[in-house]
Amino acid sequence: MNPGVLTVYRWELRKLRAQKRTYLGLGAAALVPIIFVVALATQSGQPDEVAFGRYLHDTGLAVPLVLLLFGSVWMFPLITALVAGDIVAAEDRHDTLKGILTRSVERQQVFAGKVLATFTYAVLAIAITGAVALGAGILASGFNSIVSLSGTRVSATEGLGLVGLSLCFYLVPILAVASIGLLFSTVFRNSAAAIVGTLMFSLLVQLVGILPGLGALHPYLLSTQFNAWQGFLRSPIDWGPVIRALWVCALYAAPALFAAVLVFLRRDVAGD
Amino acid sequence: MPRVTPQAIPIEVRGLVKRYGELVAVDGVDLTVEAGDVFGYLGPNGAGKTTSLRMMLGLIRPSAGEVRLFGRDPQLGVKALEGVAGFVEAPSFYPYLSGRENLRLFASLDGGDALERIEESLGIVGLAGCAKDRVGGYSHGMRQRLGIAAALLRKPRLLMLDEPATGLDPGGMRDMRDLIRELSAGGMTVILSSHLLAEVEELCNRVAIVRSGRIAYQGSLAELRAQAGDSYLLRTSDEARARAVLAAQPGIEGLEATADGTRFGARDESAVGALSLALADADAPILELSRRHATLEDLFFSLTEGDAPPPAAPAADGAPRRHPVEAA
Ligand SMILES: Nc1ncnc2c1ncn2[C@@H]1O[C@H](COP(=O)(O)OP(=O)(O)OP(=O)(O)O)[C@@H](O)[C@H]1O
Ligand SMILES: [Mg+2]
């Protein structure tokens, strides 16, 4: 069989499985919901000012939703950047590009494999958070119906479907963050710089979002897209923010990936 | 994609230049490595050996000039590296994977039946015993061996090695030399860079000597040796007069005053004979006139050190510069 993107992808996954940072990221994705639910269970109060916050004691379905809101500030961007910012830069750290680029796969195939592996990791991180949050939440608060953002009550099973849909859609902005992490990883060739850079980017965008007078930009900020899933929790579903998130995130991700590919294809592989 | 014919030239490099800002790391290198050669790429630190090899492997872009491997341009993609393997500088691996896993990774990226050659390659370089250990714990020499194993996975027809013996213990060096000889006998073309003249002398049939990014000599070792032998030492009772005679004598060149007398090169032996007669005529009695077999080492230093700039135009392939050698 001729080696190609899938070969690189498989090995990138194998490499991720052999690295501590992968488990650090996925571990955090699992641990945060547990800590959250434990803290919640030991207290009678709840964060009323957050959407779904006041239902936390009524139904486990509210737990992943509150985590999605809270996690968009820096937790999920950090978990994503941990691998996205490292996956190219690690080759520079270990000086291994000269080894893999003199085999029988083209540079663009190597890069594509890395993008796929990064996205797989991000999907896994969100899936783990979602599953653990649901599991722990249902254990603590029960599997009960939930009130949508429009004020209508949604049955537990339907609510579960909507939570799943929201988690899936949360991946749209997450993959945009991953793409930016990949760009920084490729350009900086240093994983700490790329991880911090990705996080800084994510925080700066949020800062722009709260500056007065820049309200017109608000719908087009990456941070805003982290709330787009809330459209699914209205009845009827509000497709406006959902559709906008799709193309706004593409506008962040595509140029980032394109620039990263160009740099990766053209760069000199010399120890520096 | 043109079919690669066995007789295609393994390496052809024309006018290769690499600039890093002001610094010209490789400065107009022309190189031809023929099938079956064990080619030594010799030069001091910073001469541009690694940079040249990186360009040959398609890892960095030349500022000018081109490379052909079996007629294909490595800048255009990895197709050009079919049948080619090697490494530059110390070979690197993923420290968190075992030696065997690293080879499996490379073999997967090679495709074909590379995966089936892993154990054999590990055996050849003597790493079968520690292949299950993480490379992070390998010594420098073990990594060097693993680098060779990784190259052998590709079953190359052209092997490029950048200072393959660095970090190896004496036994490892001997094994490395034996291996290169064996591979060469099996029909493999090899280019290896080195600063060790002895290593190159023992292994290579042809050499290029680089200095500051330029080729100072390129040709067979035999020709280089012949060139190295072509030096004489003269001591007379009247050095000043002798120097004048030497300077006027046809076929005598490269005068150099030393503590022992005057060193010079001669076009041939008859020029030396004529010189002795001329000295007698000029009333400068000869106390000593002897042929000096300068070692390759001397020649290497004279080609790679000193203030004299390297020749503007590198020697044509196979024809050493300086004095033409007649009886090569
Ligand atoms: N990535 C780089 N950026 C800037 N300068 C570089 C780079 N790589 C090499 N150089 C410079 O190019 C010159 C040639 O370096 P190169 O590594 O090719 O030498 P070398 O012949 O392999 O030396 P050595 O025997 O020490 O390995 C050196 O002066 C080096 O400083
Ligand atoms: Mg070098």
Predicted ipTM of the assembly: 0.91
CB contact under 8 A, A100 and B106: yes
Q: B110 and A14: CB-CB below 8 Å?
A: no
The string of DSSP letters for B203-251 reads: H-SEEEEEETTEEEEEEEHHHHHHHHH-EEEEEES-HHHHHHHHHHSTT
Collect all residues from B whose CB is shorter than 8 A from any CB in A. 51, 54, 57-61, 77-78, 81-82, 84-89, 91-97, 101, 105-106, 108-112, 150, 154
Contact between A126 and A28 (Cβ < 8 Å)? no
Beta carbons of B54 and A100 less than 8 Å apart:
no
Residues B41 and B203: their CA atoms lie apart, in Å, by 12
Query: How much is the pLDDT for B195?
Result: 86
Report the candidate in B227, B229, B170 with the shortest Cα–Cα distance to residue B196: B170
Nearest residue of chain A to residue B51 (CA atoms)? A270
What phi, psi does A218 have (nearest 5°)? Answer: -50, -45
Q: What is the pLDDT of residue A46?
A: 80
What is the pTM assigned to this prediction?
0.86
Q: Going residue by residue through chain B (328 aa), what tens digit of pLDDT does each one get?
A: 455 555 689 999 999 999 999 999 999 999 999 999 999 999 999 999 999 999 999 999 999 999 999 999 999 999 999 999 999 999 999 999 999 999 999 999 999 899 999 999 999 999 999 999 999 999 999 999 999 999 999 999 999 999 998 888 899 899 999 999 999 999 999 999 998 888 888 899 999 999 999 998 899 887 877 776 667 889 998 888 888 898 888 888 888 888 888 888 888 888 889 999 999 998 888 999 988 766 677 777 777 776 544 443 334 443 333 333 333 3
Evaluate whether A156 touches A143 at the Cβ level (below 8 Å): yes
Atom 31 of ligand 1 has which residue's CA nearest to it?
Answer: B46
**Domain spans of chain A, in order of start:** 5-266
Give whole-number Cα distances, A244 to A70, A203, A216, A241, in Å: 21, 21, 14, 5
Q: What's the confidence (pLDDT) of residue A50?
A: 84
User: Given B58, B92, B96, which is nearest A99 (Cβ)?
Assistant: B92
Task: List the beta bridge partners of residue A266.
Answer: none
Cross-chain residue pair A7–B109, CB shorter than 8 Å: yes
Q: Pick the residue whose CA is nearest to atom 25 on ligand 1.
A: B45
Query: Which residue's entry shows tokens 């079996």?
Result: B70
Residue of A nearest to B93 (CA): A96
Give the position of tokens 């996956």: A87
CA B310 / ligand 2 centre spacing (Å): 20
- Which of B19, B63, B67, B92 is most worth mutating to test chain A (most A CB atoms within 10 A of its CB)? B92
pLDDT at residue number A212: 85
**How confident is the model at residue A39, as a pLDDT?**
93
Confirm if A269 and A92 have CB atoms less than 8 A apart: no
What are φ and ψ of residue A169, in 5° steps?
-70, -25
CA A45 to CA A56: how far, in whole Å?
A: 9
Distance of residue A252 Cα from the nearest chain B Cα, in angstroms: 29
DSSP letter for B194, please: E
Cα of A115 from ligand 1 centre, angstroms: 32
Say which of B59, B78, B101 has its CB closest to residue A105. B78
- Domains of chain B with bracketed CATH: 11-83+156-225 (3.40.50.300), 230-293 (3.30.70.980)
pLDDT at res. A12: 98
CB contact under 8 A, B59 and A7: no
Q: Which residues contact B316 (CB under 8 A, 6 or more apart)?
A: none
Q: Which residues fall within 8 angstroms of residue B299, CB to CB, at 6 or more apart? A: B224, B227, B228
Q: What angle do CA B77, B82, B88 make, to 5 degrees?
A: 75
Structure tokens at A146: 């939930």
Could you tell which of B22, B23, B166, B211 is best to mutate to test the pocket of ligand 1, judged by most ligand atoms within 8 Å of the CB? B23
Residue B210 Cα to ligand 2 midpoint, Å, equals 12
Phi-psi region of A94 (alpha: psi -120 to 50; beta: other; left: phi over 0): alpha
For B92, the closest of A96, A104, A270 (CB atoms) is A96
**Tokens 């290198």 belong to residue:** B29
First to last CA, chain B: 40
| C-alpha angle B317-B318-B321 in degrees, rounded to nearest 5 | 90
Tokens standing for residue B177: 């030399």
**HSE-CB of B60 using CA atoms within 13 angstroms:** 23
- Would an 8 Å CB–CB cutoff place A104 in contact with chain B? yes
Residues paired with B284 in a beta bridge: none
Distance A44 CA to ligand 2 centre (A): 67
Supply the residue whose CA is at minimum distance from atom 5 of ligand 1: B20
Contact in structure between A141 and A60 (CB atoms under 8 Å): yes
| Structure tokens, B53 | 């090899």
Q: Which two tokens stand for residue B269?
A: 């032996």
Contact state of A104 with B77 under an 8 Å Cβ cutoff: no
Q: In terms of Cα–Cα distance, which of B64, B19, B87, B37 is closest to B218?
A: B37
CB contact under 8 A, B59 and A15: no
Strand partners, A240: none
pLDDT per 10-residue tile (average), chain A, 272 residues: 91 97 97 95 83 91 95 93 97 95 96 98 98 96 94 94 96 98 97 97 91 87 94 93 97 98 95 68
Q: pLDDT tens for residues A79-90?
A: 999 999 999 999
Does residue B83 sit in helix, strand or coil?
coil
**Residue B82 to residue A104, Cβ atoms within 8 A:** yes
Measured in angstroms, the CA of B24 and the nearest CA of chain A are apart by: 15
pLDDT of residue B260: 84
- Specify the pLDDT at position B228: 66
Q: What long-range pairs does B100-106 form, CB within 8 A, spacing at least 24? A: B100/B131, B100/B132, B101/A14, B102/B135, B102/B146, B102/B150, B103/B131, B103/B146, B103/B149, B103/B150, B103/B153, B105/A11, B105/A14, B105/A15, B105/A100, B106/A99, B106/A100, B106/A103, B106/B150, B106/B153
